Amino acid sequence: MKIAFIGAGYVGLVSAAMFAHLGHNVTCIDNNHDKISALQNGKLPIYEPGLGEYINKARLAGRLSFVLSSDFDSCRSREVSQDPQESKSEEETDAIFIAVGTPPLASGEADLSYIYDATMQVAQSYSENTLIVVKSTIPPGTCKSLESMLRAKGFSHKVASNPEFLREGSAVEDFLNPDRIVIGVSDQKAEATLREIYKPLDPLIIKTDPTTSELIKYASNSFLATKIAFINEMANLCEKVDADVEMLSRGMGLDHRIGEAFLKAGPGFGGSCFPKDILALSHLAKTHEQPCHVLDAVIFSNQNRRTHMARKISNTIGDLKGKVICVLGVTFKAGTDDVRSSPAVDIINILLQQGANIRVYDPEGAAHGSRLLPEATFAKDPYEAATKAEAVVILTEWDEFKLLDFKKLHDTLAKPNMFDFRNILDGEQLQKLRFSYHRIG
Ligand code: NAD
Ligand code: UGA
């Protein structure tokens, strides 16, 4: 089928490349000149394992192209059918997916301005035979509002919801093996189009109305975030009663009604989605006079988590003024270069405020991280970051941190304090090497 994407970010780029891999002809459009220019020159603007190969293959096969919005608009305006009643020509695009950002406003609600802008651009450039599909995460009722806006402006396009559930760092794998595909449609033609697009994956498709589909996405992210906040609170309790949070997670998670996933205690959840989506859902609930107290507790708990982590460090090494702290990991999780709402960034900022000198090493996050943290120094390897430091703090669970030469690291440090806030290291081995080892729970 012929499909297009508006937005070549973490979701749009991955989905566009993978749909092309499945055999569709895909055009991926973005208004960011640098991003499109990089993609046209065979460079990846994001770090996502495995994605580059799929993009290269799809481009070579002639099924994937990247276009700057302004270039695209001018050529589309020549192509769009002048007669809206005319039946769909072979050249027409079957569906256009909107995958632009929905960042939080100060109030917590989702900023939908990018969605509304993109939808208007699509309506002006594509005939009403093209289905508009919103892949971005949008509050319940948004597809309906978009259709109302289009009708008020004389357009009759249909708008469907098709939320995305991929995770950064395993996006390719998640796309190819979805637990389910949710489609929120209000007519059979839209349903048939989406079923046809996903047919090569032979997925379990959940068909709903658009509003339920939109809520499934918010509720799923919020539920996963709730599991994380819960285990983090349990980790705090483990520290008080001398229990082990790793065994607690396992013991709970093996009950299939609970499940082991998302029960890993850490420095709090981050990323471009969980924090913003739970805020947006909480805000939406309040506007409907139906507050969700569980969500509010999770937000509160996760915000406190950052300060709690910083306090664990200062409780051990005292006044941080002038002390060098080596931080390993700045991205919000391993496998990505994304530092949006990363717990590491927040924790580093708290340590900086307390007067610490921060040296960071991250295998993929240095470019974005150094822009957000101009006061921190970014080192080229972990040992450089650790030189004469009073502590090493692990904030992202990169595999390479498990394979460090800990003897060398020990000898590089001024004081051998190891704060493993992802519980990825062998504490006994480190203690044998005379580290003072601190982990979570
Ligand atoms: P992103 O910021 O990485 O990408 C958005 C892209 O859209 C940017 O490249 C931007 O330049 C482009 N853009 C914005 N307005 C445009 C316009 N009018 N025309 C053309 N391009 C435009 O965002 P993302 O992380 O890919 O997230 C997109 C949406 O998907 C969000 O709603 C997010 O909540 C949701 N989501 C994200 C993930 C994830 O892993 N990041 C997973 C599932 C869902
Ligand atoms: C998350 C969801 O898992 C995806 O299904 C969803 O599509 C995506 O948000 C989205 O809507 O953008 P992502 O943010 O890429 O994906 O990463 P996760 O693996 O979910 O991790 C989110 C945060 O929770 C990270 O900071 C991670 O370190 C933390 N986390 C995760 C834990 O602290 N413990 C866990 O057990 C799992």
| CATH classification at residue 17 | 3.40.50.720
Please tell me the distance between residue 169's alpha carbon and the centre of ligand 2 in angstroms: 10
Please tell me the distance between residue 271's alpha carbon and the centre of ligand 2 in angstroms: 7
Q: Which atom of ligand 2 is nearest to the CA of 264?
A: 36
Q: What is the largest CA-CA distance in the chain?
A: 78
Look at residues 391, 344, 389 and name the one whose alpha carbon lies nearest to residue 364: 344
Check: pTM over 0.75? Answer yes or no.
Answer: yes
Distance CA 392, CA 346 (A): 17
Q: Whose CA is nearest to atom 9 of ligand 2?
A: 273
Q: Which atom of ligand 2 is nearest to the CA of 274?
A: 9
Per-residue tens of pLDDT for the chain, all 441 residues: 999 999 999 999 999 999 999 999 999 999 999 999 999 999 999 999 999 999 999 999 999 999 999 887 666 654 554 444 444 444 799 999 999 999 999 999 999 999 999 999 999 999 999 999 999 999 999 999 999 999 999 999 999 999 999 999 999 999 999 999 999 999 999 999 999 999 999 999 999 999 999 999 999 999 999 999 999 999 999 999 999 999 999 999 999 999 999 999 999 999 999 999 999 999 999 999 999 999 999 999 999 999 999 999 999 999 999 999 999 999 999 999 999 999 999 999 999 999 999 999 999 999 999 999 999 999 999 999 999 999 999 999 999 999 999 999 999 999 999 999 999 999 999 999 999 999 999
Residue 78 belongs to some domain of the structure: yes
Q: Which of 185, 208, 231 is the last residue of a domain?
A: 208
Q: Residue 71: what pLDDT? A: 83
Q: Whose CA is nearest to atom 34 of ligand 2?
A: 264
Q: Whose CA is nearest to atom 20 of ligand 1?
A: 30
Q: Where are the alpha helices (DSSP H) in 257-358?
A: 274-287, 293-317, 343-353
Residues designated as active site:
273
Please tell me the distance between residue 399's alpha carbon and the centre of ligand 1 in angstroms: 27
Residue 268 belongs to some domain of the structure: no
Ligand nearest to the CA of 102: 1
75 with 191, same domain: the answer is yes
Q: Which of 177, 208, 239 is the last residue of a domain?
A: 208
Q: Whose CA is nearest to atom 10 of ligand 2?
A: 273
Ligand 2 site, CB within 6 A: 137, 164-168, 221, 224, 228, 262-264, 266, 269-271, 273-274, 332-333
Q: Where are the alpha helices (DSSP H) in 343-412?
A: 343-353, 366-372, 382-386, 406-412
Which 3-state string (H, E, C) describes 159-188? Answer: EEECCCCCCCCCHHHHHHCCCCEEEECCCH
Distance CA 431, CA 441 (A): 17
Q: Which of 180, 208, 236 is the last residue of a domain?
A: 208
CB atoms within 10 A of CB 318: 10
Residue 161 belongs to some domain of the structure: yes
Q: How many domains does the chain have?
A: 2
Instruction: Read off the tokens for 89.
Output: 């020509």
Q: Which atom of ligand 2 is nearest to the CA of 169?
A: 15
What range does the domain containing 192 cover? 2-208
Q: Residue 72: what pLDDT? A: 75
What size, in residues, is the chain? 441
